[in-house]
Amino acid sequence: MNKSGNGHHMVSATIQEGWSIMPMTEMGIFIQTRYVDSLLGTSDTTPRKTSRRPIPVHLLHTPAAIITSLRLYSTKPPAPAVDMTPSLTHTDPKTGHATMVNVTPKPATHRTALAAGRIVLPPSTFRLLSRGAVNKKGDVLTVAQVAGIQAAKRTGELIPLCHPVPLTHVGVRLWLDEGSGSEGKEGQECCVRCEASVECVARTGVEMEALTAVSVALLTVFDMCKAVGKGMQIEGIRVLEKTGGKSGVWKWDGADEANEVVGGKIGMEGEGKP
């Protein structure tokens, strides 16, 4: 007991003499060595050189213990929830008023659109067209083709919130389709089919231009044939395909079947082609 007490006294005296400025690891080794020497009765009053013997792992205060005890957290606020509900792009969500979509931030990309439709004719009217009868206003299909091209270029003036797009190509094609029966047979859907393709390099698409071209072309056929058959019906006007822009390529579900009938191709004969 006396030896143990002397050892404790010597450790305190040693710390008071200035050994407390030693690094904590070396100081721990020194104190441990002094304590063991005091128990064995081998201690003296002369400071000894600290031992480099390894310290048992359980006596060490490892940084890993500190790291694993830390609570990880972030001060970054959570991202606001994104409303994925579909909305009308031409309506201001705050006021409900009509507005023109701002496409300024969008990059200009190559865009195309293909649209189609038809006008169903009475058999008598269809026979006149199939025989090449010339209307007083001119060749029906040729005039309708020119009308469709002109309409595509003026879509921005006809549709209030549609952007005026610099078109690089407009193609309009019309042809006779006698249906599944013989030419002019009663009960068959004899019709004139129309297809329009439009291209541009712009910040917005040209679906409206293609639809306008088809619509006006078929209206022109109606106007030029109404004298011989007022029971005509315009139907099936739709976009078959569009490319370019953020949404990329889009095809109507029945586009493949429709293309077999109308021969749909982007880049038909018309303005913009040599």
Q: How far apart are CA 10 and CA 33, in angstroms?
A: 12
For the sheet with 109-120, list strands across it.
250-251, 233-243, 109-120, 191-202, 167-177, 270-271
Asked if residue 193 lies in contact with residue 175, where contact means CB atoms within 8 angstroms, the answer is yes
Task: Single out the catalytic residue among 44, 223, 253, 256.
Answer: 223
Q: How far apart are CA 98 and CA 64, in angstroms?
A: 62
- The tokens describing 272, both together, are 């913009």
Q: How far apart are CA 171 and CA 165, in angstroms?
A: 16
- Active-site annotation holds for 223: yes
Q: At what angle do helices 207-225 and 140-153 cross, to 10 degrees?
A: 150
Catalytic residues: 223
